[in-house]
Amino acid sequence: MRLFAFFLVVTGILAGCESAAPSGCRPATERIYINQRFPDRAETFHPDSLRVFLFETQFDNTVSIQVGNSVIARQHLLTGPNGLAGRVFVRAKSQEKVVIRTANQCTYFKLKDGYKYLYIDKQRNLGWHIEYSNFSRAYF
């Protein structure tokens, strides 16, 4: 009986770990960007609004975005000469787990509250970087 109880506890722990960190995924580094030159130009964000995921450098494949347990977007992205690969509009609540996958890499993070724009970079050796902001950037 003790062995069965031990099995249930270990299985529960492993299941919890699996949901926290998808296999093969590394957590993204995150930071918040505030435009110091024009702080009064920040856009307000309503919790029910769409968020804008802007994929910047190092993309040339299909990207899928999973919120919770559902894939909500899948799109081929190619970084252009201006540094922008593309944008995807996402409806997700704060603190929901987001997983972003490409053919050979993935990352995950819990969505921060109050930000409309997420700038997403994928560096070859440094991993994934997410920058939250309420400031739109210009890409030329």
Residue 104 is predicted with a pLDDT of: 86
For residue 19, is pLDDT > 70?
Answer: no
pTM: 0.81
Q: Band the pLDDT of 100: cuts 50, 70, 90.
A: very high
Confidence of residue 23 (pLDDT cuts 50, 70, 90): confident
70-94 residue pLDDT tens: 999 999 999 999 989 999 999 999 9
Is residue 40 packed enough to be buried (19+ CB in 10 Å), middle (13-18) or exposed (0-12)? exposed
Q: How far apart are CA 118 and CA 41, in angstroms?
A: 17
- Determine the pLDDT at residue 22: 73
